[in-house]
Amino acid sequence: MGWGYAKIVVFMSEMRKSIRDLRLQSYIKLSLLFIATSCRQIDLIICQENSTNYNMASTEGSGPQVSASTPAAKSPSAKSSSPPAAASSPAGNANGTEAGPIVVDPAFEHDDLTEAETESIHTSSTASLTESITEYRRILGRTYTQKVDYWGPNDEKQNEGLDLAHYWECVFFDDKLFLAPIGDSPHKVLDIGTGTGIWAIDFADEFPSAEVIGVDISPIQPSWVPPNCKFQIDDIEADWTWPTEFFDYVHIRHLEGCVSDWPKLYSQAFEHLVPGGYVEVNELDLEDYSQALGDNLPQDHVYRRWAKIMFESMDRLGKTGKQTRDHGVANGMRDAGFVDIVEKSWPIPIGGWASDPKLKEVGAVNLQYIDQSLEGFGTFLLRQMMGWEDVEILVFMSEMRKALRDLKLQTYFTLHVVYGRKPEESDEQTSAAPAAAVA
């Protein structure tokens, strides 16, 4: 159909939302096409809606049999020893008997059920979830995890934004999922703050021999995933329960303002990496800039006010939003013991104002990502941490969105990627060896 990725994501989200709405009582129709063999003939049996009743029980001397409203559909040579099919029931049966409407659980027959209530039935790919995990708070129409010190929503709108961010990063990095030199055969990989799990799933597809574990505090990941990918619902700020020296690669992405103790996070990554393993951190600077105005951007411009308020509210939450400033990520890795640390950064356009075709696509998708996610970024922080009224939040978001959509400003933010290696024993021996004597 020639659709763009963003249009596909929005369409899939709309479809997913309807499928998860149990009030619709959605269903599909199953038809069977199979070949039944006997000594004298082959019967081609086509099961058609409202015309055929099936008895799939085994029979003496023949394969599956069918009783139908048309004589041609029945094999004259077959003698069935099984009892006749039971009468059709509203619930249907496993033998394929034509059924009436499916009996609805009374819990879902009420017209006043909310969408959030119908979406509360969701299974993890690794384990059943307790009620405390799937009970969400609601603020200004958005849902949040019960973990009170995390500001990000976990609803479908925000999840779509996460997938859009993953897409533009894939475009920007030419489909490379990582920059660290981890080799061609990683064994065990940890994705911290996996979100929708899209990065973990893509990595598992690219490296089918690797075991990929994605961890998040919200059960928003899909159940249909590659066999070498699994998700765990856990708090990455708690003590890790995996064995030490367990992972080859630890991936951390978009956790700015989400971690209260970065040194502990780096230390735990160091402890649970094998010698020679890598940690990689991918973070966005929370401040937006205007390439057109540069330093002439007014001090009271919404971009400057947004950054100031975001940093202050995150500080009040106890989770800095300035980890990318002043080499904070690299210094944290170095303090934890990592070596061979590499820092890279790039300006990422917001909007399709760049002339380069790739950057134009990145910017266009990035604008859609931020435009869709804006309230999710700020609502919790402004209301819970700064004490703003709902109307103040909406006005501020509107002002911010208007500026982001103004392509004349040539808006961008900075993307930072930092990775480091856990030293091996040979590294330590080399560094401890005395310097060679000079002749």
Choose among 381, 401, 376, 241: nearest CA to 320: 381
Which own/partner pairs from 402-407 qualify as long-range (CB within 8 Å, at least 24 positions apart)?
A: 403/301, 403/302, 403/303, 404/288, 404/350, 404/351, 404/367, 404/370, 404/371, 404/374, 405/351, 405/367, 405/371, 407/351, 407/352, 407/353
State the average pLDDT over residues 86-95.
Answer: 43
Cβ count within 10 A of residue 342: 15
Which pLDDT value is given to residue 118? 41
| 283 neighbors 329 (Cβ within 8 angstroms) | yes
Choose among 241, 235, 222, 236: nearest CA to 125: 222
Backbone angles phi, psi at 206, to 5 degrees: -75, -30
Residues 190-210: tens digit of each pLDDT = 999 998 899 999 999 999 999
**Mind listing the domains of the chain with CATH numbers?**
29-103 (no CATH), 142-430 (3.40.50.150)
Q: Which residues contact 183 (CB under 8 A, 6 or more apart)?
A: none
Residues 146-170: tens digit of each pLDDT = 655 776 666 677 778 788 999 999 9
- Indicate if the pLDDT at residue 101 is higher than 90: no
Residues 345-404: tens digit of each pLDDT = 999 999 999 999 999 999 999 999 999 888 888 888 898 889 999 899 999 999 999 999
Q: How confident is the model at residue 315 (pLDDT cuts 50, 70, 90)?
A: very high
Which pLDDT value is given to residue 247? 98
Q: What residue spans of 337-389 are helical by DSSP H? A: 357-380
- Indicate if the pLDDT at residue 272 is higher than 80: yes
Backbone angles phi, psi at 425, to 5 degrees: -60, -35
What proportion of the chain, given as a percentage, has pLDDT over 90?
50
The mean-pLDDT minimum among 50-54, 191-195, 255-259, 421-425 falls in 50-54
- Indicate if the pLDDT at residue 14 is higher than 80: no
Which pLDDT value is given to residue 146? 64
Of residues 75 and 233, more confidence is placed in: 233
Q: How confident is the model at residue 269 (pLDDT cuts 50, 70, 90)?
A: very high
| 68 neighbors 44 (Cβ within 8 angstroms) | no
Q: How confident is the model at residue 66 (pLDDT cuts 50, 70, 90)?
A: very low
| 254 neighbors 286 (Cβ within 8 angstroms) | no
